[in-house]
Amino acid sequence: MRRVVVTGMGALTPIGNNLQDFWKNLVDGVSGAELITRFDPSRFKTRFACEIKEYDPSRYLDRKESRKMDRYTQYAHIAADEAVKDAALDPGAIDKDRCGIIWGSGIGGIETFLDEVKGFVTGDGTPRFSPFFIPRMISNIAAGMLSIKYGFRGPNFGTVSACSSSTNALIDAYYYIKLGKADLFIAGGSEASINPAGIGGFNAMQAMSTNNDEYATASRPFDVTRDGFVIGEGAGTLILEELGHARARGARIYAELAGSGLTADAYHITAPHPDGIGAVNVMKQAIDEAGLKPSDVDYINVHGTATPLGDIAEIKAINALFGEHAYKLNISATKSMTGHLLGAAGAVEAIATIMAIVHGIVPPTINFRNPDPAIDQNLNLTLNKAQRRTVNVALSNNFGFGGHNASILIRKFNE
């Protein structure tokens, strides 16, 4: 089976509008949570979120083209463009029939859907919908528009598995390359759900923090006072490439994607299995596929959403799978800084994991104050401050509503 390496990355996040700013703020433990500016949230239970800061699409995109895109597709184009440049990739110098796009989004163009339906309901009943309503809204359109932009004619589709969507995209791209179906992918995910429908919907589920008085520290994984996730937005892109293809064009290699896991909890539409059975199995699959042992893992970037049930289940899974080695791991939840980017979370957190390997620094879990007796406090949860450590092997976990579990194993590249 062919080897798959990462040769480029791009990030548009609530704590940095490019890869380097994102990484610096991760290491520094910066919170991306602020009061919502996108609309008036005063009547909502939650009035804060992790928005992209100082966002102006005209800085990145042609105005005429950007008007055809929902915000989530705009984010996809911006992060993909950075990754292509980071990889020193010349689309004109590669076989475009052997290159593809796989892009994840849990919700897609919800902002477009909300605006169009609101316009119809508040109008005179005459159906005046934009001809771009459907193309802006559908969850596969980011992948389609990226393939048009770069001319890639290989596999091209969107993945939808809630908060696991972009991890699924990376895993699918990884397998297409390993199986010889393609040589290179632009893969990742984007989400833009900070609007009345997104906030109201998650509030109705009681899934999201309502700690408006302490919004900057409301995303507090593992803390006994956690009361739900803080919604975020943005995009992450990875250039995944077959090793020989990367070598042939003299590409810089960040790391190797060496294992993957996909499982289902088969338990509940929103709650995780209380014993973390699906999480155990998905991490084990990724480790086994890489030909490694649990004791080879140095770091886990956990799903860590700061929900009361989710954090406990994931820690139980880590204890169950890793046994005594669990106490030698670094574990961190970078959602404490970025918020939960939903379908984009997996790609952004994969980038964080790769940067930890490259720089030998584990980003922290911030906002921790009060231990939860249900969570093993002897684990190294990388609390409040980054830690220097050699990271040779790492896992990145993401779990989604519907019981979707995805895990990727990334290791330091060795010839």
What does the mean pLDDT of the chain come to? 97
The Cβ-side half-sphere exposure at 273, using a 13 Å CA radius, reads: 18
Tell how far CA 264 is from the center of its chain.
18
Tell how far CA 78 is from the center of its chain.
15
| Token pair 């803080």 in the structure block, residue | 230
For residues 364 and 372, give the distance between their C-alpha atoms in angstroms, rounded to a whole number.
18
Show the tokens assigned to 127. 């159906």
| Token pair 């991760």 in the structure block, residue | 26
The pLDDT assigned to 56 comes to 94
Q: Which CATH architecture has domain 4-248?
A: 3-Layer(aba) Sandwich (3.40)
Over residues 47-53, the mean pLDDT reads 98
Tell how far CA 216 is from the center of its chain.
21
The tens digit of pLDDT for each residue in 361-375 reads 999 999 999 999 999
Interhelix angle for 71-86 vs 110-122, to 10°?
160
The pLDDT assigned to 130 comes to 95
Show the tokens assigned to 348. 């952004």
Residues of the chain with CATH 3.40.47.10: 4-248, 260-410
Q: Do you know the residue count of the chain?
A: 415
SS3 335: helix
For the beta sheet containing 404-411, the strands, ordered from the edge strand earlier in sequence to the opposite edge, are: 156-159, 99-104, 184-191, 234-242, 4-12, 255-264, 404-411, 393-400, 299-301, 330-332
Per the CB < 8 A criterion, the answer to whether 91 and 84 are in contact is: yes
Is the pLDDT assigned to residue 61 strictly greater than 90? yes
Gyration radius of the chain's alpha carbons: 20
For residues 337 and 372, give the distance between their C-alpha atoms in angstroms, rounded to a whole number.
20
The tens digit of pLDDT for each residue in 214-236 reads 999 999 999 999 999 999 999 99
The pLDDT assigned to 292 comes to 98
Which residues form the catalytic set?
163, 303, 340
- Type of residue found at 74: Q
Give the Cβ contact number of residue 92 at 10 Å.
Answer: 8
The tens digit of pLDDT for each residue in 273-316 reads 999 999 999 999 999 999 999 999 999 999 999 999 999 999 99
Report, in this order, helix, strand and coil percent for the chain, each rounded to 5: 40, 20, 40
The pLDDT assigned to 92 comes to 87
Percentage, residues of the chain above pLDDT 70: 100
| Token pair 């790609």 in the structure block, residue | 347
The tens digit of pLDDT for each residue in 225-275 reads 999 999 999 999 999 999 999 999 999 999 999 999 999 999 999 999 999
The tens digit of pLDDT for each residue in 145-166 reads 999 999 999 999 999 999 999 9
Written in H, E and C, the secondary structure of 75-97 is HHHHHHHHHHHHCCCCHHHCCHH
The pLDDT assigned to 293 comes to 98
Pairing of strands 393-400, 299-301: parallel
- Type of residue found at 251: A
For residues 301 and 406, give the distance between their C-alpha atoms in angstroms, rounded to a whole number.
12
pLDDT bucket at 190, cuts 50 / 70 / 90: very high
For residues 59 and 206, give the distance between their C-alpha atoms in angstroms, rounded to a whole number.
36
Fold held by 260-410: Peroxisomal Thiolase; Chain A, domain 1 (3.40.47)
The tens digit of pLDDT for each residue in 340-360 reads 999 999 999 999 999 999 999
> What's the predicted TM-score (pTM) here?
0.97
The pLDDT assigned to 91 comes to 87
